[in-house]
Structure 1
Amino acid sequence: MAHDTNAETGDWLARDEAARAYVVGATRAVESLLASTYGPRGSTSLVQTVDGQQVPETVVTADAGRLLDAIERGDGFVHPIAALFVDGLDSVRRGLHDGTTTAALLAAGLVEEGARLSESGLHEGTLTVGYAMAANRAGKVLDDLARPITAADRDRLREVADTAMTTDLSQSRRDAYADVVSTAVAELAGSTEGQWFDTDDVSVRTRAGDGVALVRGHVIRRRPGAHETSEKSRLSFDWTPSVEGVLSDARIAVLERDIDVEETATSFGSGEGAAVSLGSAGAVTAYTAARTSAIDDVAASVASLGVDVLVVRAELDDAVKNALESRGVAVVDRAQYPKSDVHRVARATGAQVVGHVSDLDESKLGRAGRVTERRVGDEKWTTIGECEGPVFTVVVETPTEQGRTAHERLVEDAVETTAVAAMDGQVLPGAGAAPLAVARDLRRFASGVQGKEQLAIEAFADVCESLVQTLARNASYDPLEALAAVRTAHADAATDPAPVGFDAARGEPADAWELGVVEPRRVFSQALDSAVATSEQLSTIDAVVSPGIDLDELDPQIEHD
């Protein structure tokens, strides 16, 4: 049925076939943005957008989640179906940092297949039941295909980290990144009671160079603030090291608020308590002397506790900072970005974050075996290392200064994905092996289903197999030849389900376990669940009404490299 327009209200209306075509068109448009990022040979995409402060930004990424984030920070997905589709991917995109493209490809395929079956007369309810049966059966296949993993299995964790980093990296750099990520996750897991652990305690820092290291502790980055945008402001930033050389066995204090000596002092002024009148030169002199005395008292009290390094979220007054440093207390203030930095320092050192300097005592101090400071580009790094607390920093050196952000996000995502595998205790063979095994099983399963749900189950299998075609296409191989080859390999495999995927480097079927291409069980499982839920929501739309708006075609304004 064609689009209808009400002349009086200007309502734009599509029903039945037109509505389904409208839904399919939107989901395929979004899917086309992400398909090129799938697999180890996925390409990068460029998005003109804005950052969190609405400043124009150019994002170049091969990660589907960051691609969607960049689009949403700009004009976003104003197309209503596209917006619904992207929202349906959020559980994978925000929670796992991996599997977004898989979920999008599966969901778009299920929507399209559902529309095709609906046009052939299959009821939406039957379609939904069939998809649910297929998803439930897929879970049983994944149970048989999965292997256990523990935080102590460093080799397997290294493979998970390596697989998660799909960006084009040199093999030596990929190996180095994967090794330090697996070490960080294993150390964090080993330092935490229970199966769950907080990956916020693993931070990533990048600088230009050719190395990678793991710091047991935290690296505080300080830079000119957002308001200090001019060259003059940048140059006026205090680049002088707060910590000279190497400070060993340092006692650490962590303070959240500024040190306000006028608030701290019990008596400020002469005879008038805290109320000081500056109506005369003598009053100004008295005020200055009293303030200096109050600053000296505060600095002396902090130093008397044995504090070697004072970490402060706020920016301290120069006079307060100088008084502290003159008594041997190194001041690391402006630890503001992110705000959680001071709490990471506290967890690393065993210190307690206090709100007011008067609350400091020896019981609230922590310790660090080694504290250093250096300038890195337009940042000042304070490394609080050799700590006892379960806090870690991965320091990655990148080939270029411009590539720091991309590599930082790459390693952050690898940490999250590897941690999911360690926490869940299950991994699957990658390289498309899992969806291929599911598809093969579903075809056999469908033949035993008597009702029309059989058609939906077979369509589900087709969509799963389409993943390996996309994988082959992105690696510049013939998709149909690749699909035929892996089908044959699964049929001839000694095990069922078989861990056979597509080797994108050689263009042939291969055992994914032997390739070392491994991913957390939850990544594919949650991608399947999200795809089924999203397709169910969109497949039941049989009418689209937009009051007063003539909706244009979806045009996300993106270029692929």
Structure 2
Amino acid sequence: MTHDGESERGAWLTRDEAAREYVVEAARAVESLVASTYGPTGGTTLVETVDPQDAPETVVTRDAGHLLDAIERGGGFGHPVAALFVDGLDSMRRSLHDGTTAAALLAARLLESGAELAAEGLHPGSIVVGYAMAANRAGSVLDDLSRPVGTADRELLSQVAATTMTADLSDRRRREYADAVSAAVSSLARESDDGWIDTDDITVRTRVGAECTLSRGHLVRRRPGAHETSDRSRLSFDWSPAVEGVLTDARVAVLERGIDVEESATSFGREGQSGVTLDSAGSLAAYADSRDAAIESVTAGVADLGTDVLVVRAELDDEVKAALESHGVAVIDRAQYPKSDIHRVARATDAGVVGHVSDLDESKLGRAGRVSERRVGDEKWAYFEECDGPVFTLLVGAPTEKGRTTHERLVEDAVETTAIAAIDGQVLPGAGAPSLAVARDLREFARGIEGKEQLAVEAFADACESLTTTLARNAGYDPLDVRTTLRNAHAESDDRPAPVGVDVATGEAADAWEMGVLEPRRVFSQAIDIAVATAEQLATVDAVVSPGVEPGPFTPQTEHD
């Protein structure tokens, strides 16, 4: 480290080997955060953070994507290289909901190997070219290893869903969840005209003790807002159901904004002024009468259209709500968690979302075969069922109230991953088989490369094989013994490439197809692409300039275990 006090006072400059080590240390630190989550027997991490509404939240997860999201919500990464490294993984965890750990482990190993090769004299450009050659070759291997899957192939899709769920679940619960997910994805796929499956149209809800059910329609959750944290506020929340019993063949209206009767009331402002001026008892009475008349006019108009249920994102005034209910219109307001809920209701019922109540007409009304509402824990659930629109709600049972959020995220991720397999129509054997098959092929491929890039290709093979080493370690087996066993199994297999991975129940080599351990082709392919892109971005760093600050060690700004 050098300090040039004459040319640029206060700038700390790290070059060459020290700069590479600075980058590698940050990658290792991020790797250490997520490595224990890899595989079905990975460990659990607890993060004290905040939720999207900035309320304190404790996240307990075995998923690297959720872990990194929780850390970023709680303050993020103070180390600039760690922040860049995690940013490189961002598209993986947001678009695929799986494979984040594999991408992080691969990228960290590629960076570490690249630094070692650079220290031995290999030019960073050659390292980048070698990694690109290896990634391209890996794509060909995965082409040969993959199998087709159809949107109606419930068994294979169920196996993909079960493989995605790495939480500690009983075999019965995992099977129930996986079967429900495959049913939801297949049902949504039948509604698609172009092969695209929009997973926003599958809503996952969890309830303690519930059976796994799939219904056509949407379920709106309502609860006190984040600001209503006191017992008094929670008690003041209207817990009574908006719908008594069950409404059948209900006509549904969906409103973006609240109903502001002041907009249609008589103006009481003086000439040339806006607003309401109440300077006498007479004017107060006139204002009250006019407001009551406006409420009656607006609410009667909504009822006259034939509206049975009005869904509103905003909170309605008690007087407006009471007037609507007096006209036989059930009101489900405060439908704002998440904000997209009203649009899902509209899509399910074929209703049109209107911004202002004056825009509502018969053509904007939708239909639901059944509408009901009940209290579930600290929430009210409004059920819109037997709808015509291509929207589905997957209700699964959680073992405990505290585990509801974790299980909901688990099933949501399984839906995303299973949909990817259905959209792409390709699956790979899991259990580490793809990384082992790629590693074996790359070692043979490297022998035919005459240039120095051969070293980078061999390093890429080692990085791929290290994924299975981590998988074995997390399962409690000796990584070296498992690696030797798997290498021998691949060498002896008649299949090229071989679908041989590690059975985490025994530590032995096994055919992943026969075990039913499957994953979408795109997940591992994109993990490789992102790892290579991240390594390419950071492996060429040969100088780190920190004006006025000496680069220190990596430390996340959020505590974790």
Provide TM-score, normalisation by structure 1: 0.96
Question: How many percent identity over aligned positions?
Answer: 70
> Does the alignment pair 1:405 with 2:405?
yes
Judge conservation of contact 1:210–1:399 (CA < 8 Å) in 2.
no
Q: Displacement of 1:10 after TM fit?
A: 3.4
Q: Separation in 1 of the partners of 2:15 and 2:260? A: 67
2:475 matched to which residue of 1? 475
2:385 matched to which residue of 1? 385
Judge conservation of contact 1:203–1:392 (CA < 8 Å) in 2.
yes
- Aligned to 2:37, the other structure's residue is in SS state coil
Q: Displacement of 1:226 after TM fit?
A: 2.1
Q: Displacement of 1:243 after TM fit?
A: 0.3
Judge conservation of contact 2:74–2:558 (CA < 8 Å) in 1.
no
> Which residue type is aligned with residue 58 of structure 2?
T
Q: Displacement of 1:132 after TM fit?
A: 0.8
What aligned pairs does 1:481-560 form with structure 2 within 5 A after superposition?
A: 481-556=481-556
Per-residue CA distance 1:480-537 (angstroms, 9 max, x = gap) = 1111111111111121111111111121111111111111111000000000011111
Q: Separation in 1 of the partners of 2:306 and 2:164? A: 45
What aligned pairs does 1:352-363 form with structure 2 within 5 A after superposition?
A: 352-363=352-363
1:194 matched to which residue of 2? 194
> Does the alignment pair 1:342 with 2:338?
no
Q: Separation in 1 of the partners of 2:241 and 2:210? A: 24
Q: Separation in 2 of the partners of 1:538 and 1:428? A: 30
> Which residue type is aligned with residue 489 of structure 2?
A
What aligned pairs does 1:313-352 form with structure 2 within 5 A after superposition?
A: 313-352=313-352
Judge conservation of contact 2:75–2:558 (CA < 8 Å) in 1.
no
Judge conservation of contact 1:45–1:558 (CA < 8 Å) in 2.
no
Q: Displacement of 1:40 after TM fit?
A: 0.3
What aligned pairs does 1:100-119 form with structure 2 within 5 A after superposition?
A: 100-119=100-119
Q: Separation in 2 of the partners of 1:127 and 1:173? A: 46
- Aligned to 1:371, the other structure's residue is in SS state strand
Q: Displacement of 1:557 after TM fit?
A: 6.5
Q: Separation in 2 of the partners of 1:299 and 1:213? A: 36
Per-residue CA distance 1:271-317 (angstroms, 9 max, x = gap) = 99998652222222222222212212222221111111111111111
> Does the alignment pair 1:78 with 2:75?
no
Structure 1 pair 227–275 and aligned structure 2 pair: CA distance change class (3 A)? closer
> Which residue type is aligned with residue 492 of structure 1?
E
Q: Displacement of 1:358 after TM fit?
A: 1.9
> Does the alignment pair 1:147 with 2:143?
no
- Aligned to 2:387, the other structure's residue is in SS state coil
2:15 matched to which residue of 1? 15
Judge conservation of contact 1:99–1:527 (CA < 8 Å) in 2.
yes
Q: Separation in 2 of the partners of 1:298 and 1:10? A: 68
Judge conservation of contact 2:217–2:386 (CA < 8 Å) in 1.
yes
Q: Separation in 2 of the partners of 1:261 and 1:427? A: 56
Higher mean Cα deviation, 118-127 or 516-525? 118-127
Q: Displacement of 1:353 after TM fit?
A: 0.7
Q: Displacement of 1:349 after TM fit?
A: 0.3
What aligned pairs does 1:160-309 form with structure 2 within 5 A after superposition?
A: 160-265=160-265, 277-309=277-309
Q: Separation in 1 of the partners of 2:380 and 2:317? A: 19
1:35 matched to which residue of 2? 35
> Does the alignment pair 1:5 with 2:6?
no
Higher mean Cα deviation, 277-286 or 389-398? 277-286
Structure 1 pair 325–446 and aligned structure 2 pair: CA distance change class (3 A)? same
Judge conservation of contact 2:49–2:558 (CA < 8 Å) in 1.
no
Provide TM-score, normalisation by structure 2: 0.96
Per-residue CA distance 1:445-499 (angstroms, 9 max, x = gap) = 1111111111111111111001100000000001011111111111111211111
Q: Displacement of 1:227 after TM fit?
A: 2.2
Structure 1 pair 545–276 and aligned structure 2 pair: CA distance change class (3 A)? closer
Q: Separation in 1 of the partners of 2:79 and 2:276? A: 62
Q: Separation in 2 of the partners of 1:117 and 1:174? A: 44
Q: Displacement of 1:117 after TM fit?
A: 1.1
Q: Displacement of 1:74 after TM fit?
A: 2.2
- Aligned to 1:468, the other structure's residue is in SS state helix
Q: Displacement of 1:322 after TM fit?
A: 0.8
Q: Separation in 2 of the partners of 1:65 and 1:77? A: 15
Q: Displacement of 1:270 after TM fit?
A: 13
> Which residue type is aligned with residue 205 of structure 2?
R
Judge conservation of contact 1:270–1:286 (CA < 8 Å) in 2.
no
Judge conservation of contact 2:78–2:557 (CA < 8 Å) in 1.
no
Per-residue CA distance 1:142-174 (angstroms, 9 max, x = gap) = 011111112111111111111111011111111
Q: Separation in 1 of the partners of 2:350 and 2:54? A: 38
> Which residue type is aligned with residue 3 of structure 2?
T
Q: Displacement of 1:206 after TM fit?
A: 1.8
Q: Displacement of 1:370 after TM fit?
A: 0.8
Q: Displacement of 1:429 after TM fit?
A: 0.7
Judge conservation of contact 2:259–2:316 (CA < 8 Å) in 1.
yes
Structure 1 pair 506–91 and aligned structure 2 pair: CA distance change class (3 A)? same
Judge conservation of contact 2:75–2:557 (CA < 8 Å) in 1.
no
Q: Separation in 2 of the partners of 1:299 and 1:558? A: 50
Structure 1 pair 421–167 and aligned structure 2 pair: CA distance change class (3 A)? same
- Aligned to 2:243, the other structure's residue is in SS state coil
Q: Which runs of 5+ in 2 are unaligned?
A: none
Structure 1 pair 276–438 and aligned structure 2 pair: CA distance change class (3 A)? closer
What aligned pairs does 1:367-446 form with structure 2 within 5 A after superposition?
A: 367-446=367-446
- Aligned to 1:320, the other structure's residue is in SS state helix
Q: Separation in 2 of the partners of 1:60 and 1:329? A: 42
Judge conservation of contact 1:208–1:397 (CA < 8 Å) in 2.
yes
Higher mean Cα deviation, 472-481 or 545-554? 545-554
> Which residue type is aligned with residue 46 of structure 2?
L
Per-residue CA distance 1:191-240 (angstroms, 9 max, x = gap) = 12101121111111122224222221111111111222211011000111
> Which residue type is aligned with residue 436 of structure 1?
L
> Which residue type is aligned with residue 442 of structure 2?
L
> Which residue type is aligned with residue 2 of structure 2?
D
Q: Separation in 1 of the partners of 2:269 and 2:553? A: 75
- Aligned to 2:446, the other structure's residue is in SS state helix
Q: Separation in 2 of the partners of 1:313 and 1:559? A: 36
Structure 1 pair 277–456 and aligned structure 2 pair: CA distance change class (3 A)? closer
Q: Which runs of 5+ in 1 are unaligned?
A: none
1:90 matched to which residue of 2? 90
